[in-house]
A and B are shown apart, each in its own frame.
Chain A
Amino acid sequence: MKPWDPLDRAALVLGLVSIASAVFVFASGELEIVRVQVAGVVVASVLGLLAIAAGWLESSALAFAAGVLFLLAGVVQLVLLAGGSGSFLGGNSSTFSLWLGLGVGLIAIGMVPRPELAEESPSD
């Protein structure tokens, strides 16, 4: 099994977190930490899969792209809320915050300078 670069592993984990956040579609009341409805599940799943692909394929560019798309989704969510009308994404400010974190995180992973393949110390 290949050793994961921590940056790729982080992209993968962020993708999994995004997909896991879809579970809040079933939550209500105090347990609704993030508001996610059907359109939000689609966004979280598709972009989450993109982030997982970025980690799996060790692609900085893909991680960056996934981050930009998350930020874009967050901004759209915020603009819809600012418009005051019912948001077709079905989220609220907490959804914006979650996608902001995923977006900035993936963009940072995509931008960070990658160290040369390590002169790894094979410790046991």
Chain B
Amino acid sequence: MASTEYAPDTDNPTDTDNPTDTGDTARPVSFLPSRIDRAVIAVVRVGVGLLWLQNLGWKTPPNFGKGDPPGGLYLSTTYAVSHEVLHPYALLVNQVVLPNFTFFAWMVLLVEASLGAFLTFGLATRFWALVGMAQTVVIMLSVLNAPNEWIWSYLLMVLVHAALFATAAGRYAGLDGVLRPACLPSQSWLPRLLVRVS
């Protein structure tokens, strides 16, 4: 996909409307000057996207593991109560999430499917990187004290999403890189929104 359309000098899309800006010389300048840097960021983004994508495989509707014996997503969710990490969160899971488990399980599936989809292809990457950080924290609060868990798995996930956000990783070999330049001049709300979240 895009290998040459990079971040403009400024991150603020309104700056492109400013005639006093660098003007006709406003040629896109890469935030990451080295081709290797850009390739590495693209590989990291695709890898993180595939991580979410593959881990959807065991979140199986319609029961999501709720049964006898429990398994899958249901069992993981119950860890928030049986292996409590944070008391208010355990209370929330026990009182709200587990009684309405099917609804929350579908929400998890849709959010994580979107994380896999959007991060893999680099679309609206900065927004989905933030969602990925939030979702990682939720998972961490559920399973951190369960057997065989390692806190740094989750801290590393948070950090790698932070890196995707900070580098606007979808602009390198991602759809953001090709859509953003086409959307920058537009005044319609959808292209403007894409510019902001990419």
Contacts and interface: CB of A to CB of B under 8 A. Distances in A.
Nearest to A100: B117
Interface residues of A, number: 33
Contacts of A35: 57
Interface string B47-61: 001101110110111
Given A10-B1, A10-B175, A96-B113, A112 B123 contact: no
B114 A100 contact: yes
Given A14-B121, A101-B116, A93 B1 contact: no
Q: Majority SS of interface residues in chain B?
A: helix
B121 to A, nearest CB: 5
Interface of B: 1-2, 4-5, 49-50, 52-54, 56-57, 59-63, 109, 112-114, 116-118, 120-121, 123, 175, 177-179, 181-183, 185-186, 188, 190-191, 194
A81 interface: yes
A104 B123 contact: yes
A33 B54 contact: yes
A109 B53 contact: no
Given A108-B123, A112-B191, A98 B117 contact: yes
Given A100-B114, A101-B116, A114-B182, A34 B53 contact: yes
B61 A81 contact: yes
Contact of A100 (B2, B113, B178, B185): B113
B113 A97 contact: yes
